[in-house]
Chains A and B, each alone.
Chain A
Amino acid sequence: MPGLCKGDPRSKAPAVGSAAWVNELGRARRPGPALPAAALPAALGSSTLSVHAGSRDDPATGAVGTPIYQNSTFVLGAEQYRAIDQGYARDRFIYTRYGNPSQWAVQEKIAALEGAESALVFASGMAAIAASVLAMLDRGVHLIASKELYGGSYAFFHHELPSLGFSVSYVDPRDPNAVRAALRPNTMLLFFEAMTNPLLNLVDIAAMAAIARAAGAKLIVDATFVSPLGVRALEHGADLVLHSGSKYLNGHSDLICGAVAGSRKYVDRVWPRLLAYGGCLDPHACFLLERGLKTLALRMRAHEQGASAIAEYLARHRQVGWVRHTSRADHPDHALATRQLRQHSGVVAFALHGGDAAALALLPRLRLMREATSLGGVETLVSLPFNTSHAAFTAEQRAQIGIPPGCVRLSVGIEDPADLIADLDQALATI
Chain B
Amino acid sequence: MKNGIATAALAELAAEVGERPQQGCVAYGVQLNWRSGTRAEVEALPMRIGDEQVSRGLRWEIDEPRQLGGSNHAPNPQEYLLSGLGGCLMVGFLVGASVRGIQIERFAIEVRAELDLAGFLGVRKGAPVALGGIRYVMHVQAEAGDAELEELRELAEAHSPNAMTLAHGVPIHGALARTSR
Q: Does B170 contact A (CB under 8 A)?
A: no
Complex Cα distance, B155 from A141, in Å, reads 36
Complex Cα distance, B99 from A278, in Å, reads 30
Report the minimum CB–CB distance from A86 to chain B (whole Å). Answer: 5
CB neighbours of A265 from chain B (8 A): 12, 16
Number of A interface residues at 8 Å Cβ cutoff, please give it: 31
Given A25-B14, A26-B11: A16 in contact with B98 (beta carbons within 8 A) = yes
Quick check: B55 and A138 within 8 Å, CB to CB? yes
Quick check: A141 and B10 within 8 Å, CB to CB? no
> Which residues of chain B (1-39) have a CB below 8 Å from chain A?
1-2, 5-16, 18-19
Closest B residue, CB atoms, query A90 = B8
Quick check: A140 and B57 within 8 Å, CB to CB? yes
Main secondary structure of the interface of A (DSSP, over half): loop
Q: Does B101 contact A (CB under 8 A)?
A: yes
Interface string of B89-113 (1 = CB under 8 A from A): 0000001101111000000000000
Given A86-B1, A138-B56, A186-B57: A28 in contact with B12 (beta carbons within 8 A) = yes
Interface string of B134-157 (1 = CB under 8 A from A): 000000000000000000000100
CB neighbours of B18 from chain A (8 A): 23
Report the minimum CB–CB distance from A319 to chain B (whole Å). Answer: 52
Report the minimum CB–CB distance from B100 to chain A (whole Å). Answer: 6
Q: Does B81 contact A (CB under 8 A)?
A: no
Complex Cα distance, B5 from A84, in Å, reads 11
Quick check: B55 and A29 within 8 Å, CB to CB? no
Given A25-B10, A28-B16, A87-B6: A138 in contact with B99 (beta carbons within 8 A) = no
Within the complex, which residue of B11, B55, B96, B100 is in contact with A141, where a contact is CB–CB below 8 Å?
A: B55
Complex Cα distance, B48 from A27, in Å, reads 24
Quick check: A186 and B7 within 8 Å, CB to CB? no
Report the minimum CB–CB distance from B155 to chain A (whole Å). Answer: 6
Interface centre among A14, A23, A138, by most chain B C-beta atoms within 10 angstroms, is: A14
Within the complex, which residue of B11, B46, B98 is in contact with A28, where a contact is CB–CB below 8 Å?
A: B11
Quick check: A14 and B57 within 8 Å, CB to CB? no
Report the minimum CB–CB distance from A281 to chain B (whole Å). Answer: 24
Quick check: A16 and B7 within 8 Å, CB to CB? yes
Please name 18 pairs of A and B residues whose Cβ atoms are closer than 8 Å in the assembled complex, sorted by A.
A16-B2, A17-B100, A21-B155, A22-B95, A25-B10, A25-B11, A26-B11, A28-B12, A28-B16, A29-B12, A86-B1, A86-B6, A87-B1, A138-B54, A138-B57, A188-B53, A216-B48, A268-B9
Question: Can you list the 4 inter-chain pairs with the closest CB atoms, starting with the nearest?
Answer: A87-B6, A216-B53, A25-B11, A28-B15
- Given A21-B155, A27-B15, A84-B1, 7 more A-B residue pairs with CB atoms under 8 Å apart are A16-B7, A28-B15, A87-B8, A138-B57, A141-B57, A216-B46, A216-B48
